[in-house]
Amino acid sequence: MFDYLIIGSGFAGSVIAERIANVLNEKVLIIEKRNHIGGNCFDYRDKNGIIIHKYGPHLFHTNNKKVFDYLSDFTDWNIYHHQVLAFIDGKKVPIPFNFNSIKQMFPETLANRLIEKLLKKYKYGSKVPILELKKENDTDLKFLADFIYEKVFKNYTAKQWNKKPEEIDPEVTARVPVFIGTDNRYFNDKYQAIPTEGYTKIFENMLNHPNIKLMLNTDYKEVIDIDFENKKIYFFGQEFKGKLIFTGMIDELFNYKFGELPYRTLDLRFKTVGKEKFQEVATVNYPNNYDFTRITEFKHIHPVKTDKTTILYEYPKEYKKGDTPYYPVFTPENRQIYNKYREYAQDFESIILVGRLADYRYYDMDDIVEKALDVFEEKIK
Ligand code: UDP
């Protein structure tokens, strides 16, 4: 009946389902544990009429034209350039830390000297990861690096990861580099936009095809059995000869055979505030105060005229089985565990792994779409 079974309806599963249906004209069933599609990109209009992102703020940005064009088949876009301020020593300054942040934070003479020295060393418009800037020997630049490290990264990273910045993969803090210039935007990508009617609509449009069936509220283990010894897949008790595309947690798929892969999770607390606007920009980070890392106000992302506003506090915490696995903790040690799973998975020709959880990578949305399109071309088509 089905040529393909897909576990998970986030970007990885939905892109592949759409390609199988439209390009190959074959039949696919998506099995989704939650009561909705879209994975962590799921959004909806709350009781105030404001589109909120149920699993935390998702801001689409990419330099990949192919990905942007592909998604544009399923949505119109509103141009949106995300801005973030960090609350530091009683002031709200732009993040990534840039020349404007320097001018707001320090007295004029010092600020000018810091900017001059940065410009001598780095190209205008370039991005310098904090752990790189920390290697500076010049007294002024060292002062600046230590300031940013202490006030922007150290405590935020402790809350987010329960680790010091130098203990996590350098790729993670490099996502928010110091910016050599005055651009206050959080991202510099060529394409930055928000789907006009929200992300969920993209998924509805992708999956709206007679070849695609969807089973919500279903843990895949309720309908699929994998015989690991004989490398066979059973669907409702019958051997399934097609391909299984798995976008969930790789350690769960293989019954934690090589141990659990660690994640960080978030406690997300939404709040309605009885005023038109709560804060200056969509997201304000609080590296050094409170137990939450940031507050996001969704009205900035999806403008709407109402006298109330919806905000979201993010409280990071350690992941335990059953929580939502938001962030993989990819230390070298955890990568080794992951590699064991991946190697083991190679023995299963009919199982294809793709997505943030199956790949155990800190993917952005565009990375997942790109990856899913590649996997379709290379392993399915
Ligand atoms: N980070 C930080 N302070 C900030 C912003 C980011 O220390 O004000 C660090 C922190 O370790 C965080 C990482 O940079 O986990 C990546 O931040 P990003 O905003 O990309 O995280 P995401 O939006 O994916 O949660």
pLDDT in tens, the chain (381 residues): 899 999 999 999 999 999 999 999 999 999 999 999 999 999 999 999 999 999 999 999 999 999 999 999 999 999 999 999 999 999 999 999 999 999 999 999 999 999 999 999 999 999 999 999 999 999 999 999 999 999 999 999 999 999 999 999 999 999 999 999 999 999 999 999 999 999 999 999 999 999 999 999 999 999 999 999 999 999 999 999 999 999 999 999 999 999 999 999 999 999 999 999 999 999 999 999 999 999 999 999 999 999 999 999 999 999 999 999 999 998 899 999 999 999 999 999 999 999 999 999 999 999 999 999 999 999 999
d(CA 92, CA 97): 11
Q: Does the beta carbon of 164 lie inside 6 Å of ligand 1?
A: no
pTM for the complete prediction?
0.97
Compute, in angstroms, the gap from residue 336 CA to the centroid of ligand 1: 24
* Owner of token pair 């990905």: 67
**What letter would DSSP give residue 96?**
S
Could you count the other beta carbons within 10 Å of the beta carbon of residue 329? Answer: 21
Compute, in angstroms, the gap from residue 159 CA to the centroid of ligand 1: 10
Compute, in angstroms, the gap from residue 31 CA to the centroid of ligand 1: 32
Which has the closest alpha carbon to 365: 113, 182, 189, 167? 189
Measure the CA angle with vertex 208, ends 352 and 32; round to 5°.
Answer: 45
**What letter would DSSP give residue 123?**
-
Q: Does the beta carbon of 293 lie inside 6 Å of ligand 1?
A: no
Closest atom of ligand 1 to CA, residue 362:
24
- pLDDT value, residue 330: 85
Orientation of helix 365-375 relative to helix 65-72, angle to 10°: 90
Orientation of helix 365-375 relative to helix 11-19, angle to 10°: 40
Which has the closest alpha carbon to 205: 72, 31, 43? 72
Orientation of helix 199-207 relative to helix 11-19, angle to 10°: 30
